[in-house]
Amino acid sequence: MSAGRLITIEGLDGAGKSTLAQALHGELAKRAARVELLREPGGVEVSERIRALVKDPALEVSPRAEALLYAAARAQLCEERIAPLLAAGAFVLLDRFVDSSLAYQGAGRGLGVVAVRAINDFATGPIAPARTLLLRIEPALGRLRLHERAEQPDRLEQEGEEFFAAIAAAYEELARAEPQRIRVIDAGQPPARVLADALAALEDLLPAGPAPSSIGPR
């Protein structure tokens, strides 16, 4: 059985990651036999509970504790879900992964990318994305889109402009350092164009033609 592929989606809050993830999931399902969509922090019980904790606006969480909580949620998801899926040959589409911690905790919280990368290396072991789609959006536009959603902002979304500017700059730096893995997509475009750009950025990883299960009996 062939090894699967991990594809991650990154970007600022309000960039449209979840919308793209759902649309991509539908498209990839036509091309690959098994595609799973997961999100971070979350995807398994332990990590969903950490999600609730770390996003709770009523809590004060220190930057180091925050980085470790995200890494803990990630470690559990990798071991419980992602590793078995990849071993079974699945495509795993993941809404946020280590780059989120590098950008949000490393740059946004000022912990430094090197330190945050180290705890995440420990958390993820050998699991690494084959490709990362970075949705690039002006921080102000991302904030505007967030405010348009009726939901109450979570603990991180309540942060100020400087926090998001630092995150946006860190994402750009990560993309410059790894252009083969991280493909930047203009998230200011209409959703259909964002999806088309994402598919083009994944083309070389996808099997040609429809999924084997949809070909039918010979």
The residues binding ligand TMP (CB under 6 A) are 13, 39-41, 70, 96, 100-101, 104-105, 156-157
109 versus 131: smaller Cβ distance to ligand TMP: 109
**Nearest approach, Cβ of residue 4 and ligand TMP (Å):** 21
**Nearest approach, Cβ of residue 83 and ligand TMP (Å):** 18
Report the Cα 120 to chain-centroid distance in Å.
14
**Nearest approach, Cβ of residue 30 and ligand TMP (Å):** 26
* Helix H or strand E encompassing 201: helix 191-202
Q: At a CB cut-off of 8 Å and minimum separation 6, what does 198 contact?
A: 20, 24, 133, 185
31 versus 96: smaller Cβ distance to ligand TMP: 96
Q: At a CB cut-off of 8 Å and minimum separation 6, what does 161 contact?
A: 139, 140, 143
**Nearest approach, Cβ of residue 186 and ligand TMP (Å):** 19
32 versus 71: smaller Cβ distance to ligand TMP: 71
**Nearest approach, Cβ of residue 196 and ligand TMP (Å):** 23
The closest residue (CB) to ligand TMP is: 104
SS in 3 state form for 112-158?
A: CHHHHHHHHHHHHCCCCCCEEEEEECCHHHHHHHHHHCCCCCCCCCC
80 versus 211: smaller Cβ distance to ligand TMP: 80
What's the angle, vertex CA 7, arms to CA 168 and CA 64, rounded to 5? 50
- Rounded Cα distance, 137 and 41, in Å: 21
4 versus 16: smaller Cβ distance to ligand TMP: 16
DSSP 32-82: SS-EEEEESS-SSHHHHHHHHHHH-TT----HHHHHHHHHHHHHHHIIIII
**Nearest approach, Cβ of residue 152 and ligand TMP (Å):** 12
19 versus 189: smaller Cβ distance to ligand TMP: 19
